[in-house]
Chains A and B, each alone.
Chain A
């Protein structure tokens, strides 16, 4: 199992540009989570999906942020337009409901820098 795969690993972009982060969950997992990690705010849950349907997006900071999960093996987190304060590490995690008590598996993260 390749684990949760995120791309790109690093992204540097200019303020105002659109940024798209990608995630491939573990095959068969039915939950997918997007987290953001910053020094100031720690790890924050942005949004999560169950069977490709968004369940809770209350953590999405602004309308500039959007997330989709068009199928069970792919999700995107888009920021448009990006701002310097969006600089953070974005993690994707996945889980299987019947095995949730074993934990959640995190991807390697995407380090986003907006200049």
Chain B
């Protein structure tokens, strides 16, 4: 059974600070996704990571993947209030198809002015 663990689950930080969210998963996978969810809203795709060493950046967010360690990180640089949200990582089985995703519990991020 594929398990996905995120930490921390809750994070309160000040604007301007840097922080990293960690996502560990239990079995081999060829796809890892990061999503953002605002309160009462749907899930918005942020990043798709497909290979070992993959790094993607969008604005103040940067995601990386280490398939050997089964670890992905989402790094926040110089946080701003607009980044307050819940962030999920999700992993697909290495089936080659569009398998259902297994999600972590999410990291509830609050960025205070």
Residues in chain A near residue B97, CB distance under 8 A: 31, 50, 97, 100
Closest to A56 in B: B100
Interface residues of A in 52-94 (CB under 8 A from B): 56, 59, 91
Q: In the bound complex, what is the Cα–Cα distance between A23 and B97 (angstroms)?
A: 21
Check B76 for interface membership: any CB of A closer than 8 A: no
CA distance A31 to B100 in the complex (A): 9
Quick check: is B75 within 8 A (CB to CB) of the other chain? no
Interface string of B72-98 (1 = CB under 8 A from A): 000000000000000010101000011
Please indicate the chain B residues that have their CB under 8 angstroms from the CB of A107 in the complex: 42
Q: Please, which residue of chain B has its CB at the minimum distance from the CB of A45? A: B100
What 0/1 pattern do residues 28 to 63 of A give for CB contact below 8 A with B? 001101000000001101001010000010010000
Assuming the contacts A42-B106, A43-B103, A103-B48, asked whether A97 and B42 have C-beta atoms less than 8 A apart, the reply is: no
- A100-B31 CB under 8 A given contacts A45-B102, A48-B100: yes
The answer to the question of B45 belonging to the interface, with a C-beta cut-off of 8 Å to chain A, is yes
Query: Is B25's CB within 8 Å of the partner chain A?
Result: no
List B residues at the A interface (Cβ < 8 Å): 31, 33, 35, 41-43, 45, 48, 50, 88, 90, 92, 97-106
Top 10 A-B pairs, shortest CB-CB distance: A45-B100, A43-B103, A31-B98, A103-B45, A100-B98, A106-B43, A95-B98, A42-B105, A106-B42, A48-B100
